[in-house]
Amino acid sequence: MLSVLSASLFVALFAAFLAGCVSGLTGFGLALISVPLFLFVYDPTTVVALTAVLSVAINVAVVWDSWRDANKRLVLALLPPAFVGVAAGVAVLKVVDPLYIRLGVGVLVVLSTLLLLREVRLPGAGTWWGPVVAGSASGALSTSTGLAAPPIVILLASRGLPKHTFRSSSALFFLPMSLAGLVALVLWGLMDGGHATLALALVPVAFLGKLLGTALLTRISEKTFRRTSLGFTLLTGALGVATALWALI
């Protein structure tokens, strides 16, 4: 039993460190990295609780050290439609199979990301309604599929934001979204003392990963940062398609 617990804790610590590193570098991607690894050793409810706490902690840390770099006007334009989208995602989930939503969105994310990797700018990204579409899509996808990051990343990448602005703006957007999710878990009774204790034990390791990611940010070029961010987005879309097809087949 002790060896099983030790192995589970080792996996959890590794997941927290790696997720913190990715988030410290890009400002997003914590759930993409941590959830698959956490699911190897914990039940889904525990995974959701751990991810919620770590997301808040790391986003706070990234926002704290990059506040001046954030495009606050853009983030403020994204947040209201995102919160509307959260409610819309719940409504959609009641009438549409989430697997079909994940499949369709995954395909769109993959195609859009491939275009951005080829330096094709998506139409409408620089207009006033670009944040409305991206924000509402992110909010809706957060509650219907769990794929909240791709619309935001695609918008920021399509606008060609510098790496520091990209990272800080992404983290600043996801911080209130993460806080809202954590509050919801507490209110719904899905966060107990055991979850909180384990999550708090993982936070220092996630912070160490965040420090490494932040250090890497200063060493990589704008081009490498863009490819890395879009690479994680492409992976998110591809995993969405793969998991949806696997379940449907």
Q: What digits encode the pLDDT tens for the residues 196-238?
A: 899 999 999 999 999 999 999 999 999 999 999 999 889 888 8
* Distance of alpha carbon 35 from alpha carbon 39, whole angstroms: 6
180 pLDDT more than 80: yes
pLDDT score at 5: 55
pTM: 0.89
1 pLDDT more than 50: no
Q: How many C-beta atoms lie closer than 10 Å to residue 46's C-beta?
A: 20
For the ranges 3-12, 71-80, 85-94, 150-159, the lowest mean pLDDT is seen at: 3-12
Give Rg (Cα) of the chain: 17
DSSP reduced 3-state for 227: helix
Average confidence score pLDDT of the chain: 88
* Distance of alpha carbon 83 from alpha carbon 80, whole angstroms: 5
pLDDT 10s digits, 149-168: 889 999 999 999 999 999 99
Q: Regarding predicted confidence, which is higher, 35 or 20?
A: 20
Token pair for 139: 């909010």
Average pLDDT over residues 81-110: 83
3 pLDDT more than 70: no
* Distance of alpha carbon 91 from alpha carbon 85, whole angstroms: 10
Average pLDDT over residues 89-99: 76
Q: Regarding predicted confidence, which is higher, 248 or 230?
A: 230
Average pLDDT over residues 58-85: 95
Average pLDDT over residues 33-59: 88
Average pLDDT over residues 242-249: 84
CA 180 from centroid of its chain's CA atoms:
14
241 pLDDT more than 70: yes
Asked if 149 and 233 touch (Cβ cutoff 8 Å), the reply is yes
135 pLDDT more than 80: yes
Q: Regarding predicted confidence, which is higher, 74 or 243?
A: 74
b/e burial code for range 116-155 (CB count within 10 A of at least 16 → b): beeeeeeeebeeeebbbbbbbbbbbbbbbbbbbbbbbbbb
* Distance of alpha carbon 196 from alpha carbon 186, whole angstroms: 10
187 pLDDT more than 90: no
Average pLDDT over residues 117-143: 85
Q: What percent of the chain has pLDDT over 70?
A: 98
Domain boundaries, the chain: 2-248
